[in-house]
Amino acid sequence: MNLIAWGYFPARLAWRQLIFDRTKLIAAICGVLFACILVFMQLGFKDSLYASAASAPLKLNGDLFLMHKQSEAMWRPVNFKRSELMRTLGHPAVAEVSPLYLGLAPFKNIETQVKRTLMVYGFDPEAQLFNVEAIKNKRGELRLKDTVLFDESSRPEFGHIRPLLEAGKNVTEINDYKVAIRGLFQLGVSFAADGNVVTSDLNFMRIFPNRNAGDIDMGVIRLHPGTPIKQVQAELSSQLNEFVNIFTYDELLEYEKLYWANTAPIGFIFGFGTVMGLVVGLVIVYQILFTDIVNHRYEFATLKAMGYQHGYFIRLVFATAFFLAVLGFIPGCILSIGLYHLAESQMFMPMPMTFSKVITIFFFILSMCTIAGFLAIHKLKAANPADMF
Amino acid sequence: MSMLIDVRNLDFSFGSGELTLPVLKNVTISIHQGEIVLMTGPSGSGKTTFLTIVGGLRQAFNGSVKVLDQQLINSTEQVKVKVRQQIGFIFQQHNLLKSLTALQNVSMTLEMYNGSSERERLNQAAAMLEAVGLGDRLNYKPDQLSGGQRQRVSIARALVGQPKIVLADEPTASLDKQSGQEAVRILKQLAKESGTAILLVTHDYRILEIADRVVELEDGVIKD
Ligand SMILES: Nc1ncnc2c1ncn2[C@@H]1O[C@H](COP(=O)(O)OP(=O)(O)O)[C@@H](O)[C@H]1O
Ligand SMILES: [Mg+2]
């Protein structure tokens, strides 16, 4: 028997049986579609979470980074002594170091006066800690007393800052301390902070009167060009106090990401949601395939009596599973694209629909339907040709 | 004339041990090419069981059952499948595939064999439906057809592969007198044209006249 007959005939019969009962077909497609949307949304939120978690460290301009070992992530740092960072200057490869101060503080909406928490980054304006042009260009303004720059990608609840600045209304309060906004930049929000401002180290101490310049949240180290970063990292870490971590740029990104993946249960929750979506879909598709076999058992037994072999029916079941996967995935994918846009416009989270995500999820759905097929084929034994007469 | 079915000393029972139910006892019968044999007998006498064994649908262990020169006693699934493919079956219930048209149902028999193109298969199936008087119902689904029409579709399905043997189990039982006789008349006519042997189980005495030979089974024993 040639290959076309091997696969095409059972697939064609599967298709004809599927479209014969439209109501059942629509119900089946809805089951797959449901699983599809669930998985798309869970994975979309997860990727968005990781992308936004890394938005701040992504723009940091340094080769090595010091953090307290108890700092689980940048948004909840534990202080350590500035002198720890200064000691690294003793290494010949280290060109310059600068401390970064981090703090969450309430920011007053200029129009509504409602306060909402955002992230405050404090550093020496000359150090140019962020690779963001708008911040670099404003280093003169940043040196002024009680001045901050505001992240335009912050959530809209903080107010429409750009038109306010253009209208000359730039004074607000952070941590009940009066500051003036003298510029905008774009960094991006994360699950930890709905907005960001940057300011000078001196202004940071004014906004947070309980903090002092000797206790820092992160140390940024720049090396002389051309030095092997890994080697310097190893040498420095042997000299440093054991309570500090020393990360390369990539390690810092990974550390931030892993916090959300592991320490915060959020990564787990989305992973769990994905698995649950697939399990629910699996059960639905299994149920559909199973009842389909039961309903067609006399027809299958008739075909067996005519000389059709067991493998034909196995291929038929898998073809049915494949059609359900494709028929459910296409509308599921289209609806998810709409939902991603909705999430981006309503929740201000980056939710890109990438081609690789579409392919990945299609294979998830296809595997889900295939496994359902494997579970259902045992029911084919119910089609016994001897019971046909 | 060559012998298509040759059964000797066939014993068969359902169950095992204390619950053994002997159904066929020392059955011996042979059927030649083109012969039409009717098997009658009271309900429960073992007719259906005999038919499923001869058709390669049920495994028997004692005696000898040669169908188309294949020994079916203690045979492999492969042998039974091969025999089934050369037999046309007609069931009491029509057992057509609900989602397929009459034409597609009849084509299912031909899809098992290589060689023919889709067009050839459909032409052949249409010609067969024409022959059973359903040339104007090719694209009807089973639930758009009457009981007699459905049974004629299943006769077409059984005959379209040009089998050497047709096995039929009470094909008229669910039909009224007229459509039953019509169906059997068509079956006989087509079988005679192609030299197909028919083993037909029935207790419908209205159709006995189509037979070349009638055998009676009672309590698993063939009566002379
Ligand atoms: N699958 C089975 N399992 C057990 N006993 C069966 C089975 N099929 C039929 N029988 C029994 O075998 C006997 C013969 O049945 P059957 O061949 O169907 O008779 P007939 O077709 O002549 O009415 C009956 O007593 C019936 O109860
Ligand atoms: Mg019977």
* Per-residue model confidence as pLDDT tens digits over B113-159: 777 889 999 999 999 999 999 999 999 999 999 999 999 999 999 99
Is the Cβ–Cβ distance between B153 and B94 less than 8 Å?
Answer: yes
Q: What gap in Å lies between CA B115 and CA B104, rounded to an integer?
A: 18
Q: Does B51 touch chain A (CB under 8 A)?
A: yes
Query: How is residue B21 annotated by DSSP?
Result: E
Q: For residue A204, how far is its CA from the centre of ligand 1 (angstroms)?
A: 93
Task: Give me the pLDDT at residue A53, please.
Answer: 74
Tokens of B222: 């063939």
Q: Does B174 touch chain A (CB under 8 A)?
A: no
Task: Give me the pLDDT at residue A346, please.
Answer: 78
Q: What's the total number of domains in chain A?
A: 2
- Of B10, B11, B23, B203, best ligand 1 pocket probe by most atoms within 8 Å of the beta carbon: B23
Tokens of A43: 């994975």
Last residue of a domain, one of A242, A274, A305: A242
Is the pLDDT score of B165 beyond 60?
yes
Q: Is residue A47 part of a domain?
A: yes
Q: How far is CA A295 from CA A18, A248, A290, A300, A357, in A?
A: 12, 62, 9, 10, 36
Please check whether residues A153 and A223 belong to one and the same domain: yes
The chain-wide mean pLDDT, for chain B, equals 92
Q: What gap in Å lies between CA B11 and CA B27, rounded to an integer?
A: 7
Please check whether residues A121 and A25 belong to one and the same domain: no
Tokens of A66: 């010091």
Last residue of a domain, one of A227, A242, A257: A242
DSSP codes joined into one string, B141-175: -GGGS-HHHHHHHHHHHHHTT--SEEEEESTTTTS
Q: What gap in Å lies between CA B151 and CA B175, rounded to an integer?
A: 8
Please check whether residues A99 and A167 belong to one and the same domain: yes
Of B116, B104, B214, B110, nearest to B159 by C-alpha is: B110
Those residues with Cβ within 8 angstroms of residue B16's Cβ, 6 or more apart along the chain or in another chain: none
Nearest CA, atom 3, ligand 1: B14
| Partner-chain residue, chosen from A20, A386, A388, that has the shortest CB–CB distance to B95 | A388
Relative to the alpha carbon of B53, which ligand is closest? Answer: 1
Task: Give me the pLDDT at residue A263, please.
Answer: 72
Relative to the alpha carbon of B41, which ligand is closest? Answer: 1
Rounded to a whole number, what is the distance in Å from the CA of B90 to chain A's nearest CA? 9
The chain-wide mean pLDDT, for chain A, equals 91
Q: Is residue A259 part of a domain?
A: no
Please check whether residues A20 and A118 belong to one and the same domain: no
Nearest CA, atom 18, ligand 1: B48
Is the pLDDT score of A347 beyond 60?
yes
Q: How far is CA A388 from CA A74, B92, B155, B180, B198, in A?
A: 71, 9, 16, 20, 18
In sequence order, which ranges of B89-134 are alpha helices (DSSP H)? 102-110, 118-131
Q: Is residue A372 part of a domain?
A: yes
Tokens of A151: 């992240």
Last residue of a domain, one of A182, A207, A242: A242
Radius of gyration of chain B (CA): 17
Please check whether residues A47 and A147 belong to one and the same domain: no
Q: Return the sign of the alpha-carbon dihedral for residues A51, A57, A62, A67.
A: negative
For the CA atoms of A258, A263, A268, A270, the dihedral, rounded to the nearest 10 degrees, stands at -70
Residues of chain A that touch chain B, judged by Cβ-Cβ distance less than 8 Å: 1-2, 5, 9, 13, 16-17, 19-21, 298-299, 302-309, 385-386, 388-389
Q: For residue B90, how far is its CA from the centre of ligand 2 (angstroms)?
A: 13
A-B contacts at Cβ under 8 angstroms: 64
Of A143, A141, A162, nearest to A151 by C-alpha is: A162
Q: What gap in Å lies between CA A300 and CA A383, rounded to an integer?
A: 6
| Partner-chain residue, chosen from A16, A303, A388, that has the shortest CB–CB distance to B91 | A388
> Phi and psi dihedrals of A183, rounded to 5?
165, 165
Q: Return the sign of the alpha-carbon dihedral for residues B83, B87, B90, B95.
A: positive
Please check whether residues A43 and A85 belong to one and the same domain: no
Across A20-28, average pLDDT:
92
Q: How wide is the angle at C-alpha A262 spanned by C-alphas A260 and A267, nearest 5°?
A: 55
Q: For residue B51, how far is its CA from the centre of ligand 2 (angstroms)?
A: 9
Q: Does B166 touch chain A (CB under 8 A)?
A: no
Please check whether residues A216 and A327 belong to one and the same domain: no
Strands A115-123 and A80-81: unpaired
Strands B165-169 and B197-201: parallel
Closest chain B residue to the Cα of A300, Cα to Cα: B97
- Of B48, B54, B202, B218, best ligand 1 pocket probe by most atoms within 8 Å of the beta carbon: B48
Percent over 70 (pLDDT), chain B: 99
Per DSSP, what are the bridge partners of residue A144? none
Q: What gap in Å lies between CA A368 and CA A322, rounded to an integer?
A: 10
Q: What gap in Å lies between CA A59 and CA A69, rounded to an integer?
A: 22
Tokens of A48: 């968005």
Please check whether residues A226 and A288 belong to one and the same domain: no
Q: How far is CA A115 from the centre of its chain?
A: 27
Those residues with Cβ within 8 angstroms of residue A168's Cβ, 6 or more apart along the chain or in another chain: none
- Atom index in ligand 1 nearest the CA of residue B201 equals 21
Radius of gyration of chain A (CA): 29
Q: For residue B137, how far is its CA from the centre of ligand 2 (angstroms)?
A: 30
Q: Is residue A95 part of a domain?
A: yes
Q: Enumerate the residues of chain A whose CB falls inside 8 A of the CB of residue B157.
A: 306
Across A180-193, average pLDDT:
86
Q: Is residue A248 part of a domain?
A: no
Check if B47 has its Cβ closer than 6 Å to any atom of ligand 1. Answer: yes
Q: Enumerate the residues of chain B whose CB falls inside 8 A of the CB of residue A15.
A: none
Nearest CA, atom 6, ligand 1: B14
| Partner-chain residue, chosen from A299, A307, A386, that has the shortest CB–CB distance to B85 | A307
Please check whether residues A227 and A366 belong to one and the same domain: no
Is the pLDDT score of A54 beyond 70?
yes
Is the pLDDT score of A4 beyond 80?
no
Please check whether residues A163 and A302 belong to one and the same domain: no
Q: How far is CA A304 from CA A307, B98, B112, B221, in A?
A: 5, 16, 11, 29
Please check whether residues A280 and A217 belong to one and the same domain: no
Task: Give me the pLDDT at residue A192, please.
Answer: 79
pTM attached to this predicted model = 0.81
Q: Which residues surround ligand 2, an ion (CB under 5 A)?
A: B 48
Give the burial class of A156: count Cβ atoms within 10 A of its Cβ; 0-12 exposed, 13-18 middle, 19 or more buried.
exposed
Give the burial class of A5: count Cβ atoms within 10 A of its Cβ; 0-12 exposed, 13-18 middle, 19 or more buried.
middle
- Atom index in ligand 1 nearest the CA of residue A386 equals 1
Tokens of A155: 């959530």
Task: Give me the pLDDT at residue B70, please.
Answer: 94
Rounded to a whole number, what is the distance in Å from the CA of B52 to chain A's nearest CA? 6
Across A195-201, average pLDDT:
94
- What is the extent of the structural domain holding A301? 2-53+265-388
Of A284, A245, A308, nearest to A376 by C-alpha is: A284
Q: Enumerate the residues of chain B whose CB falls inside 8 A of the CB of residue A9.
A: 111
Per DSSP, what are the bridge partners of residue B168? B90, B200
In sequence order, which ranges of chain A are alpha helices (DSSP H)? 3-20, 22-53, 55-58, 82-87, 133-137, 139-142, 161-166, 201-207, 229-239, 249-258, 266-295, 297-306, 310-347, 355-376
Q: How far is CA B27 from CA A324, A349, B33, B215, B221, in A?
A: 50, 80, 20, 11, 6
Q: Can you list the domains of chain B with their CATH numbers?
A: 1-86+167-172+200-224 (3.40.50.300)
| Partner-chain residue, chosen from B48, B84, B104, that has the shortest CB–CB distance to A306 | B84
Task: Give me the pLDDT at residue B210, please.
Answer: 87
Tell me the pLDDT band of A297, cut-offs 50, 70 and 90: very high
Q: Is residue A260 part of a domain?
A: no
| Partner-chain residue, chosen from A9, A19, A385, that has the shortest CB–CB distance to B57 | A385
The predicted-structure confidence for B171-199, as pLDDT tens digits, reads as follows 988 888 888 888 899 999 988 888 899 99
Q: What gap in Å lies between CA A301 and CA B178, rounded to an integer?
A: 29
Q: What gap in Å lies between CA B20 and CA A301, rounded to an integer?
A: 26
Please check whether residues A309 and A344 belong to one and the same domain: yes
Is the pLDDT score of A1 beyond 60?
no
Is the Cβ–Cβ distance between A175 and A197 less than 8 Å?
Answer: no
Q: Does B55 touch chain A (CB under 8 A)?
A: yes
Helix (H) or strand (E) holding B14: strand B3-14
Task: Give me the pLDDT at residue B94, please.
Answer: 64
Of the given ranges (A16-25, B59-68, B143-152, B205-214), which has the lowest mean pLDDT?
A: B205-214
Of A60, A63, A158, A143, nearest to A108 by C-alpha is: A158
Q: What gap in Å lies between CA B39 and CA B169, rounded to an integer?
A: 9
Relative to the alpha carbon of B39, which ligand is closest? Answer: 1
Q: Return the sign of the alpha-carbon dihedral for residues A190, A194, A199, A203.
A: negative
Is the pLDDT score of A351 beyond 90?
no
Q: Is residue A255 part of a domain?
A: no
Q: What gap in Å lies between CA A192 and CA A137, rounded to an integer?
A: 27
Q: Enumerate the residues of chain B whose CB falls inside 8 A of the CB of residue A16.
A: 99-100, 104
CB contact under 8 A, A307 and B51: no
CB contact under 8 A, A307 and B92: no
Tokens of B140: 């009807």
Q: Is residue A257 part of a domain?
A: no
Which residue carries 């500035």 as its tokens? Answer: A82
